[in-house]
Amino acid sequence: MERQPFFYDITLRDGNQSLKKPWNTFEKEIIFNNLIELGVQGIEVGFAAASDMDFEACLRLASIAPDNTVISALARTVKNDILKAFESIKNAKKKRIHTFIAMSPFNMRYVLNKSPEEVKKTAIEAVSYAKSLVGNDGEVQFSVEHFGDCCENIDFVIDSLKEIVKAGASVINLPNTVERTCPSRFVNLVEKVYNALPKDIIISVHNHNDLGMATATTVESYFKGAVQLECALNGLGERAGNTNMYEVAVALHNLGVDVPLNLSKIYELALVISDMSDVKIYEKAPLIGPEALSHRSGIHQDGAVKTKDMEKGAYRPIHPSLIGRKDDEKLGFTSQSGKTAIFEIITEAGYPITLSEAQRIVPFAKEEAEKIGELTTRNIIDIYYNNVLNVKGAFRLCNLEKLEDEKIKLRFMYKDKEYNIEVSGNGPVDACIKAVQKAGFDCEFLNYEQKALNMGSDASAMTIMQFKAPNGQTVISRGCDESTVKANIKAIFNGLNIIENMK
Ligand code: KIV
Ligand code: ZN
């Protein structure tokens, strides 16, 4: 059963009716044009009888609608509403009147105060009136309001729908007007209706998100026969909203369904809608939330970095570019994070670091993060400076003097004791190491390299040295200075302190 889903947008109707300041025609037109670019196949442009402003908006949008987009307006099962709906969308090439009435036992009894037979009769009359208006050129959609609450009278609903179809409805919409239980119960009802009605009737679902499962309910309904999926941009809609269009589209895409939408428009559109609706995007909102691409646990950060450019990510449902999101997965450093975040953040900031150095400074970063929470890049750079480029410890360089004949005089402190050592060596690095050794300290270096760089205001040379620590571990140390000799000496003293601090 592979059919292309029909995305029917309800942002301009259900979404609009829930706003603190419903949109005017001008605002609706901006959103409408975005919906067309997104590629939805049907748009419910408004509730024409709700206000003159909404009627005018429906009229305008119907007049600018592309020929291949279904344009519909909502109406209660009352003649005046239906006529207004028709008047408002009659200029659209593909016009549709959408009428609805509740059929749940609870609503028929306590809200409508009507018997089931009265409700059925009202629905049939409304549909046949709507059909007489749109004729063969247009469609009638009928919604069983509160369909999700129709478990106990589903046979009545199905019998009524058979007659409603005969009266002229070609789209039967099954709303979970209030989400009270779980997707599987709703989906079972959808399947019953799908099996009972003629196969040329389009089954639609319209799910509210009161318990946060509207996306699941909509996606599962698609696999039980619902072709038309009623969704709203940013999940706008009454109370906790309607099914979120982006989530449904991406879930079906990930399931291999042919989704006829321009998915790369999603992220930008979400920002526009948030702005225009004045409904903020929740930090953790799936796909579009500011935090939806952040990783803070060390394990997740490691997986995210290892799968960064791959279509499938270790800890993300899609590659962000699928929805046009340019900001990449963000790594934030907290007490839960690890070396990958330090490495990425420092590298991103333009400083040299190896993974083993990142690992070494993690405890300092964690200690700080335990106190203040997530560290900023500035905090992390400070930690880097204090623990990589300017390591505090028992050794302190006081002065280095070049004497004649490759000789140097090194003055340094170890704890409170001052050392003044004169040695000759094969260049300043060799001489300095010899001086430290002569003072009685272990100092075995394995490797040396110097690079020109333009990192901070005062640094133009960086020395990278590898020392062998007494426990056999290799320790990398760096020294940075505008003088190449000083960069070397700083690297040696940083190395001495790193090893000393390991004790
Ligand atoms: O939630 C609902 O039942 C509705 C109908 C009008 C379709 O919005
Ligand atoms: Zn609704």
Element (H, E) at 298: helix 298-306
Q: Which amino acid is at 239?
A: R
Per-residue burial over 11-37, b if 16 or more Cβ lie within 10 Å, else e, is: bbbbbbbbeeebbebebbbebbebbbe
Q: Which atom of ligand 1 is nearest to the CA of 74?
A: 6
Regarding the beta carbon of 145 and ligand 1, being less than 6 Å apart is answered yes
Count Cβ atoms below 10 Å from residue 414 Cβ, excluding itself. Answer: 17
CA of 307 to the centre of ligand 1 (A): 42
pLDDT of res. 165: 98
Distance (Å, whole) CA 7 – CA 42: 6
Is the minimum distance from the CB of 222 to ligand 1 under 6 angstroms?
Answer: no
Average pLDDT over residues 7-36: 98
Q: Read off the pLDDT band of 451 (50, 70, 90).
A: confident
Ligand 1 pocket member 360 (CB < 6 A): no
pLDDT at residue 224 is higher than 60? yes
CA distance 32 to 55: 15
Predicted local distance difference test score (pLDDT) of residue 258: 97
Among 303, 271, 276, which Cα is nearest to 287's?
271
Pocket test for ligand 1, best of 76, 97, 177 (most atoms within 8 A of CB): 177
For a ligand 1 pocket test, name from 14, 146, 243 the mutation site with the most ligand atoms within 8 angstroms of its C-beta: 14
- Picking from 84, 189, 117, 191, the residue whose alpha carbon sits closest to that of residue 146 is 189
Alpha-carbon distances of 200 from 103, 172, 194, 440, rounded to whole Å: 23, 11, 10, 93
Cβ-based burial of 58 (10 A; exposed 0-12, middle 13-18, buried ≥19): buried
How far apart CA 483 and CA 18 sit, in angstroms, is: 67
Ligand 1 binding pocket includes 100 (Cβ within 6 Å): yes
Residue 439: phi, psi to the nearest 5? -75, -5
Ligand 1 in reach of 206 Cβ (< 6 A): yes
CB of 259 closer than 8 Å to CB of 247: no
Question: Bridge partners of 174?
Answer: 205
- Please tell me the residue having the least CA distance from ligand 1 atom 2: 177
Three-class SS state of 460: coil
pLDDT per residue over 60-72, tens digit each? 999 999 999 999 9
Ligand 2 centre from 73 Cα, in Å? 13
d(CA 357, CA 385): 12
pTM above threshold 0.85: yes
The average pLDDT across 226-243 equals 98
Centre of ligand 2 to C-alpha 355, Å, is 53
Per-residue model confidence as pLDDT tens digits over 322-347:
999 997 789 999 999 999 999 999 99
pLDDT confidence of residue 183 = 98
Residue of minimum CA distance from atom 8 in ligand 1: 14
44 lines ligand 1 (CB under 6 A): no
* Planar angle of CA 496, 501, 503, nearest 5 degrees: 105
Distance CA 173, CA 164 (A): 12
Q: Which two tokens stand for residue 226?
A: 């619902």
- Residue 231's closest CA among 324, 222, 223? 222
Q: Closest Cα to atom 1, ligand 1: which residue? A: 177
- Calculate how far, in angstroms, residue 45's C-alpha sits from the geometric centre of ligand 2: 14
C-alpha of residue 429 to centroid of ligand 1, in Å: 79
177 within ligand 1 shell (Cβ under 6 A): yes
CA 177 to ligand 1 center in whole angstroms: 6
Determine how β-strand 139-145 pairs with β-strand 444-452: unpaired
Structural domains of the chain in order of their starting residue, each with its CATH number: 6-261 (3.20.20.70), 294-389 (no CATH), 395-502 (3.30.160.270)
Question: Which of 13, 97, 145 to mutate to test ligand 1, by most ligand atoms within 8 A of the CB atom?
Answer: 145
d(CA 91, CA 89): 5
99 lines ligand 1 (CB under 6 A): no
Find the 374 Cα to ligand 1 centroid distance in Å: 43
Ligand 1 near 495 CB (within 6 A): no
Instruction: Pick the ligand that lies closest to the CA of residue 172.
Output: 1
Dist. CA 141 → ligand 2 center (Å) = 14
Compute, in angstroms, the gap from residue 309 CA to the centroid of ligand 1.
42
**Cβ of 302 below 6 Å from ligand 1:** no
- pLDDT-derived band at 407 (thresholds 50, 70, 90) equals confident
Mean pLDDT for all residues in the chain: 95
Identify which has the larger pLDDT, 150 or 427.
150
Is the confidence at residue 457, as pLDDT, over 90?
Answer: no
